[in-house]
Structure 1
Amino acid sequence: MIKLVRQRLSSELESSLVRLTQELAGTPIAERIEHADRMWDRRTVRRDVYRPVKDELETMAPGLDCCMYCGNHMADTVDHFVPKSRCALRTFYWPNLLLACSTCNSRFKRDQHRSDGLVGSLLVDPTRDDPIEHLDLQLESGLYRAVEGSKKGQWTIDVCGLNEGKRPRAREGAWRSLGGDLKGWARARDEGRPDDMRFHLWRMRDQPFADVCYAALHKAVSENAGAIFVDTDPHVLALLRDEELRALLLL
C-alpha cells in the first residue's frame, strides 16, 4: 500500500454526492441499506456519479490505476472503505470511496470491517494513514509483514489477502524488474540517451505492484538500509538514493 493524497472534487460532482446522501438520510433507518444498494446501482448514478468518481480515484492511484489495497494495476471497481452494510450513509461520502481491484473488493475485503476502538477503522486507509507505519514489505520475498505492535497492519494483511496466491511472487518479480530498470536508466543517463531514460522511468512508475518501488525508495534511506540491502547490488542501492531519480519517482 502507498500513502495517497485525496483530490478535491468538482463542485458539480460534490453536489451530486451530497444530494444522494441527503436522499439516503431521508430514508427510514430500517430501509437505508437496501435503498443504498438500489441507489448505487441506478443507471443515472452509474453514469453521472460512479464513472466520474472512478475517474477521480484513478488520478490518485499510483502506477497504472493501481488498487489502493493490494497495489496491483488496472483496478476496476470503486470500493466502500466502510461497507454500505455497516454504514449506509457513507455510500456516497467521498472520503469513504477507494479504487480497488475486483479481487480485493469482491473476494477478500467484501463487507469486512472492524473499528479501531476509537473513531476510525482497523483497516489501513491509504488516504488517511501512512501504510509504512503499519505495513512492512519484504522486497526479496514479496511478503507483507505487520509493523511490530500494529493491529492495523495485521488486520489489513488478513482482510485484503495481501500475501495470498501469487501476489508475493508478483511483487518479488517487480523488485527484480525494478533493479534492471534502475541500472538501465543510469546507463541511459551516462550515455546521453533521454528516450531510454524516459522508457525505464515509465516502466518503474507504471509497473504492476507499484508499492514495491515506493517501499524500496523508503527503505533505501532508512536507518536499517545497510541490513535490508545487504545482498543487493550496491549500484541498485546507490540509484535508489539518487536525488534526481527519487524526485522523478516520488512525484
Structure 2
Amino acid sequence: MIPLARPPLDDELAASLQRRGDELVRKGADGDGARRAWNGARADRGRLRELLAGMASGIERCMYCGDSLGTSIDHFEPLKEAPLRAFDWLNHLLACSMCNSNEKRDRFPRASCGTPLLVDPSRDDPYDHIRLVLATGRYRWRTERGESTVEVFGLNRSDLVLGRMAAVERTEAMVLARGIALDAGNEAKATRLLVSLLNHPFVDVLYAMVRTADSPGAVTVLEPATVVGLKDPVYGFRIRAS
C-alpha cells in the first residue's frame, strides 16, 4: 500500500454527487436504500471509476494490495455503517474483488473512542503504520491502525507475499538497467524504465526501497538519481505515471 493523491472533481460531477447525497439525507436512507441509490447512479459511477483509475498506482491497480486490477469502487467506510456517505468522493477507493469482497467486506474496525482503524491511502501515508520487509515480502505493522489494516485487507496473504518477493528481484533488475542507461547517457530509456517501474504491480516494493534508501545500513540497489527522481512530485508516488 502506498500513498495516493486524490484529484478534485469537476463542477458537474461534484454537483451531481451533492444532489444525490442530499437526497439520501432527505430520505434518511439506511444501508439498503443507499445501495439502491448507488446502483442506480450508473453514469456517475462510471465517471468516478475513471477518476479512480487515474489515481491508482500502476495500471489501475487495487489501492489496497497493489497487485490485482481494481475492478470496483469500494466505499472505504461501508454503506452499512455510513449510508449517507454513498456519494462522498472522499469515501471512494478502487479495489480488486479479493480485497473488497473477500477480505474487507463490510468490516470497518474502530478504536474504543470510535476512531477508524483502517489506513486510507488517499489521506494517510501507509508507511507511518505499516512497513514492508523486503526480505520476506510481508508487512509488519507499527501501530494499531497498521495491524487492523494488514488483517482486514489480508495484506500478508500468501499470493501477495510471493508476488512481492518476485517483485523485489524484478525491481532491482530494472533499477540496475536504468543506472546503465543513465551511465550511457540514454535519458530516454532511463525515463521509460522509471515510468515502467511506477506502472508495475507491487509498486509498494519500490516505495519501500525509496523510503529506506537513506536509512543507516540499508541494502539497496537504488542509485541516487532514482531516489531523487522518485521523490520528485513529477514522478513521485502521489502521482500516477503516464
TM-score, normalised with respect to structure 1:
0.87
Q: Distance in 2 between matches of 1:85 and 1:213?
A: 35
The correspondence for 1:186, drawn from 179, 195, 214, is: 179
Q: Which stretches of structure 1, 4 residues or longer, exceed 4 Å deviation after superposition?
A: 239-242
Q: Does 1:126 align with 2:126?
A: no
For residue 8 of structure 1, report the CA deviation from its aligned partner.
0.8
1:209 aligns to 2:202 (yes or no): yes
Instruction: Give the structure 2 partner of residue 18 of structure 1.
Output: 18
Segments of 5+ residues of structure 2 without an aligned counterpart are none
Deviation (angstroms), 1:210: 1.0
Matches within 5 A, 1:1-251: 1-28=1-28, 32-42=30-40, 45-46=41-42, 48-118=43-113, 120-147=115-142, 150-222=143-215, 224=216, 226=217, 228-229=218-219, 236-239=221-224, 242-244=227-229, 246-247=231-232, 249-250=235-236
Kindly provide the CA deviation profile for residues 175-227 of structure 1, in whole angstroms up to 9, marking residues without a partner as x: 111110111011111123334323322321111011111111011123x4x1x
Aligned length: 236
Structure 1 CA distance for aligned equivalents of residues 67 and 181 of structure 2 = 28
For residue 166 of structure 1, give the secondary structure of its aligned residue in structure 2: helix
Q: Distance in 1 between matches of 2:76 and 2:111?
A: 14
Instruction: Give the partner amino acid of 1:17.
Output: L
How far residue 249 of structure 1 moved from its aligned partner, in angstroms, is 4.3
Q: Aligned AA for 1:52?
A: R
Tell whether the 8 Å contact from 1:63 to 1:73 is kept in structure 2 after alignment: no
Q: What is the CA distance between 1:237 and its match in structure 2? A: 3.9
Moved more, 155-164 or 127-136: 127-136
Greater alpha carbon shift after TM alignment, 128-137 vs 239-248: 239-248
RMSD: 1.9
One-letter amino acid of the counterpart of residue 39, structure 2: D
Instruction: For residue 245 of structure 1, report the CA deviation from its aligned partner.
Output: 5.8
Hey, what's the Cα distance between the residues in 2 that align with 1:195 and 1:3? Answer: 27
Letter in 2 for 1:198: T
Taking structure 2 as the reference length, what is the TM-score of the superposition? 0.90
Q: Summarize the Cα distance change of 1:111–1:244 in structure 2 as closer, same or farther, 3 Å threshold.
A: closer
Q: Deviations over 1:22-80 (max 9, x none)?
A: 11112245xx22111111211xx12x211111111122212211211111252111000
2:223 is paired with a residue whose SS is helix
